[in-house]
Amino acid sequence: MELSIIINNYKTRGLLKQCLKGIYAFPPAMPFEIVIVDNNSQDGSVEMIREMFASTNINKKDLIVDQKIIGTIEEFSPNVKLIASSKNLGHHKGNNLGIKNSSGKYVLIMNTDVAVFDNSLNELYYFMEKNPQIALAGPRLHNADGSIQKSCMRFPKIMTPFYRRIFLFILPSAKKDLARYLMEDFDHRSSIPVDWILGACQIVRRSAIERVGLLDEFLFLYFGDVAWCQQFWQQGMPVYYFAGADIIHYHRRESNDFFSKTFWIHISDWIKYLLKYHFHVIPQKEKN
């Protein structure tokens, strides 16, 4: 298997269906598989997948996590797998489940709010094939209106996430740091090495994952992409922004709402990230 597409879903049935339609409208030219992880959405997502592929269901087994049965793994043909969890495992643990149950030379992690409209998946694959030193690459993401989305960034400083989420962004020092962080000096028209790539859509070399480990499950929803890219760089494996592939990302910054649960998950994950990767209070494991 050349390419494993991992889609982690939580209560986004409509987006999941659109994402799958885009993949099959412009399927990769190389052998590929799709692994869908559902985090107990209870919105009809699991039933929709079963209905889409019901006529070709070939195998079903228990999903076992931490020695407990928490769902099912259902294999469909051709090369579609549904991991239906009875718990919300979070972004990183859910994607890790998908990676563990896949076999591709490359892993392509896609959020459900990502839409494919051309042969960009092929272009991502060929870019990695031509550049064997690269661990991870991300496409040029676009907003729904076609404008370019900031999806490659420099590593955050201690205050960077706070500048983005609260009123401090009006301070001159905050504006300067956010311009640095968001790479506002970059026109997004060329392919270059970058500190890190937004986890909404990224292709990763499996041999690189085997070297540094899976996404950090200590983090629930945010900053796993930052930590992963940091680990790749530390091992001398570059991370690249690839402008030769264009994909739509229907991004909503829910973490901006002070009163939302997502806001506080974002802050919690940032503190965890700082403790582990900046202050090194929490030891890093060799591999997940």
Q: Distance between CA 274 and CA 281 in Å, rounded?
A: 9
What's the confidence (pLDDT) of residue 263? 83
Query: Which pLDDT does position 281 carry in this prediction?
Result: 83
Give the pLDDT score at 230. 97
| pLDDT of the residue at 55 | 65
Best CA proximity match to 102, nearest among 83, 125, 130: 83
Please give the distance of CA 263 from its chain centroid, rounded to a whole number: 19
Tell me how crowded residue 236 is: count the other CB atoms within 10 A of its CB: 9
pLDDT tens track, the chain, 288 positions: 999 999 999 999 999 999 999 999 999 999 999 999 999 999 999 999 999 987 666 788 999 998 999 999 999 977 999 999 999 999 999 999 999 999 999 999 999 999 999 999 999 999 999 999 999 999 999 999 999 999 999 999 998 987 876 666 667 889 999 999 999 999 999 999 999 999 999 999 999 999 999 999 999 999 999 999 999 999 999 999 999 999 999 987 554 555 578 888 988 999 999 999 988 888 776 455
Task: Kindly state the tokens that stand for 96.
Answer: 């890790």
Beta pairing class for 152-153 and 196-197: antiparallel
CATH class (in words) of the domain with range 3-156+186-256: alpha beta
End-to-end CA separation in angstroms for the chain: 23
* Confidence (pTM): 0.93
Residue 120 contacts residue 225 (beta carbons within 8 Å): no
Confidence at residue 178, expressed as pLDDT on a 0 to 100 scale: 94
Q: What residues contact 184, with CB distance under 8 A and at least 6 apart?
A: none
The answer for residues whose C-beta is within 8 angstroms of residue 195's C-beta and 6 or more apart is: 152, 153, 154, 155, 229, 230, 233, 239
User: Using CA atoms, how far apart are residues 268 and 266, in angstroms rounded to an integer?
Assistant: 5
**Residue 37, beta-bridge partner list:** 8, 83
The confidence score (pLDDT) of residue 62 equals: 94
Burial 98-121 (b: 16+ CB within 10 A, else e): bbebbebbbbbbbbbbbbbeeebb
Average pLDDT, the chain: 92
Rounded Cα–Cα distance for residues 168 and 15 (Å): 33
Q: At how many degrees (to 10) do helices 13-25 and 45-53 cross?
A: 30
Rounded distance between C-alpha atoms, residue 22 and residue 18, angstroms: 6
Which residues are within 8 A (CB) of 267 and not within 5 positions of it... i.e. 6 or more apart? 161, 165
Q: Are strands 152-153 and 106-111 parallel, antiparallel or unpaired?
A: unpaired
